[in-house]
Amino acid sequence: MAQVLYMALPVPAKPRKAASSSSSSKPLKLPRRNRSTNISIPTVKGSGRRLLKPQKLNLEVSPHRAVSAVRLMRIELGGAFADLLNEKGKGSGENEMGYVQRTLGFRTRELSHHDLRLVTDIVGGTIRWRRYLDHLINSLCHDKDISSMEPLLLQILRIGFYEVVKLDMPPYAVVDENVELAKVALRPGAGNMVNGILRKLVALKENGTLPLPKVEGDDRAQARALATLHSHPVWMVRRWTKYLGQEEAIKLMIWNNSEPSFSLRANRASGFSRDDLVAQLNALKVPHKLSLYLDEFVRVKTGLQIVIHAGLLKKGLCSVQDESAGLVVSVVDPQPGETIVDGCAAPGGKTLYMASHLSGQGKVFAVDVNSGRLRILKETAKLHQVDGVITAIHADLRTLTDNEQLKSDKVLLDAPCSGLGVLSKRADLRWNRALKDMEELKKLQDELLDAASKLVKPGGVLVYSTCSIDPEENDDRVAAFLVRHPDFRIDPVDRYVPPDFVTSSGFFFSNPVKHSLDGSFAARLVRDS
């Protein structure tokens, strides 16, 4: 262990105070009674060597719980996305332990691959089930309001509750190790509190008497109960019950709380076929199924980390892309020789897939307001060998309406939206959306649609898409657009996607529950000549 720390440990930061809504937070410290080791790490700077401050290595704290607690702190307090953190954390145990060192003031033993998988599971699951877990914590903390609880203490409790209630981990291990984490990262009193609350939870679970609400009363009361039982915001439950009915709303929430599956797209532009991808997955012993709808796609339920570690993505041989996104590209139907504008292109999944259909002939103008993400798109385009047909434009689409050079055969507007169709993959997104956001998003979608329409040549095609399942962001936006732009008409998508995805209005729609894909929408609109 000392050698591992010697090789990779960064220059340490001073232990920080635990973030808290109270100004009386105590500095994080390591109690003397814990078995820890001070390790001096020499580093080279220029031509001289210097001795860094001793590092605290605690061998009793569970590494996956320490890392999970710190990740959850970063997500909730720092605004980082859970899927981004999970992606960066894959295979990067030393990097994760660096965050623990800087946040908690000590390190644990080295993370194994099994530990990293547990971190991904616990972080994603704890975020998904946050409302449910907080209800249980509140019920067992009769004299405390968890809204004023120290953030780190709350995360430790959430982890423990999730492990007991949803992962069915051995109760003694959950209690002992979360207590140890609380004592080391906070203070002995915090550990005692965690011990008492977790033991109450274990007893209630074993007796089958968890304090959960019943779905009864008026519509509002039922929505609140369902929101707690299935861990979603109340406004989402009420909205889905309105549009889908209660039974379908419950099915949707169950889907959102399930472990997500992923799809891989073979990059045909680099000469890598789906057969080649299947051969690689077989060699890696990664379970997979062929897509029922798209020739380049393969579904992967488990083993994505193995694919990433094998370097298939870094080599540009394939990419992670949901089939629903691929079907939106099918609605665009890109053909060699065409010019296409992708109005909100980054991070670029659809851009790259459209470019691969052009066979080196034509042009895709990738427009986005985010320069950083656009830079990543350009780098990925080069890796995927489609950079010759992609031109990146850093701009707000709404400022390009008078640009005659961008008038194109087809325009894809994959608009900013609520993301209500991708909540199974974006576990944190449900807590980062509010009902008031919907009105702002609809206004933005209308403005972008108006701008995108001006870049369509006469006789050309405008495809409007979202990753939302909300009719107000989808059908309603198209209907309002057609009133403002009578020179456009609906082109039914039944020629481009399987009939099971075609709505009565002629739009594409993937239903997460029905199709086991991300929720997605696309309308194909033709401009009269």
Q: Scan for tokens 């997955």, then name that residue.
A: 281
- In terms of Cβ atoms closer than 10 Å to its own Cβ (0-12, 13-18, 19+), residue 146 is middle
> Is the same domain home to 238 and 292?
no
- In terms of Cβ atoms closer than 10 Å to its own Cβ (0-12, 13-18, 19+), residue 42 is exposed
> Is the same domain home to 284 and 330?
no
Establish if 389 belongs to a structural domain.
Answer: yes
Beta strands in 217-344 (DSSP E): 262-266, 289-290, 297-300, 318-320, 339-342
Predicted local confidence at residue 146, as pLDDT: 87
**What is the pLDDT confidence band of residue 54, given thresholds at 50, 70 and 90?**
low
pTM: 0.86
> Is the same domain home to 387 and 500?
yes
Picking from 287, 304, 320, the residue at the C-terminal end of a domain is 320
Distance of CA 376 to the CA centre of its chain: 18
Does 347 count as an annotated binding residue?
yes
What is the span of the domain harbouring residue 287?
262-320
The pair of three-digit structure tokens given for residue 512, joined into one six-digit string: 């997460």
Establish if 506 belongs to a structural domain.
Answer: yes
H or E element at residue 393:
strand 390-394
Predicted local confidence at residue 12, as pLDDT: 33
**What is the pLDDT confidence band of residue 16, given thresholds at 50, 70 and 90?**
very low
Does 349 count as an annotated binding residue?
yes
> Is the same domain home to 116 and 224?
no
> Is the same domain home to 63 and 174?
yes
For residue 79, the SS3 value is: coil
- Asked if residue 296 lies in contact with residue 328, where contact means CB atoms within 8 angstroms, the answer is no
Render pLDDT for 143-194 as a digit per residue (tens, 0 to 9): 677 888 999 999 999 999 999 999 999 999 999 999 999 999 999 999 999 9
Among 134, 131, 129, which Cα is nearest to 144's? 134
Establish if 30 belongs to a structural domain.
Answer: no
> Is the same domain home to 228 and 187?
no
Establish if 1 belongs to a structural domain.
Answer: no
Does 368 count as an annotated binding residue?
yes
Establish if 9 belongs to a structural domain.
Answer: no
Question: In the chain, count of helices (H) and strands (E)?
Answer: 20, 16
Does 346 count as an annotated binding residue?
yes
For residue 148, the SS3 value is: helix
> Is the same domain home to 165 and 96?
yes
Q: Scan for tokens 């889905």, then name that residue.
A: 240
> Is the same domain home to 422 and 523?
yes
In the chain, the number of structural domains is: 4
> Is the same domain home to 457 and 363?
yes
CATH number for the domain harbouring residue 136: 1.10.940.10
Question: With 80 as the cut, is the pLDDT of residue 17 above it?
Answer: no
CATH number for the domain harbouring residue 513: 3.40.50.150
> Is the same domain home to 359 and 483?
yes
> Is the same domain home to 99 and 158?
yes
Picking from 320, 336, 352, the residue at the C-terminal end of a domain is 320
Does 185 count as an annotated binding residue?
no
Active site residues: 467
CATH number for the domain harbouring residue 304: 3.30.70.1170
Establish if 42 belongs to a structural domain.
Answer: no
Render pLDDT for 469-512 as a digit per residue (tens, 0 to 9): 999 999 999 999 999 999 999 999 999 999 999 999 999 999 99
Does 494 count as an annotated binding residue?
no
Render pLDDT for 399-445 as a digit per residue (tens, 0 to 9): 998 888 999 999 999 999 999 999 999 989 999 999 999 999 999 99
Question: With 80 as the cut, is the pLDDT of residue 92 above it?
Answer: no
> Is the same domain home to 515 and 428?
yes
The pair of three-digit structure tokens given for residue 274, joined into one six-digit string: 């789906």
| SS (HEC) of 457-470 | EEEEEEEEEECCCC
Sign of CA dihedral 68, 74, 75, 77: positive
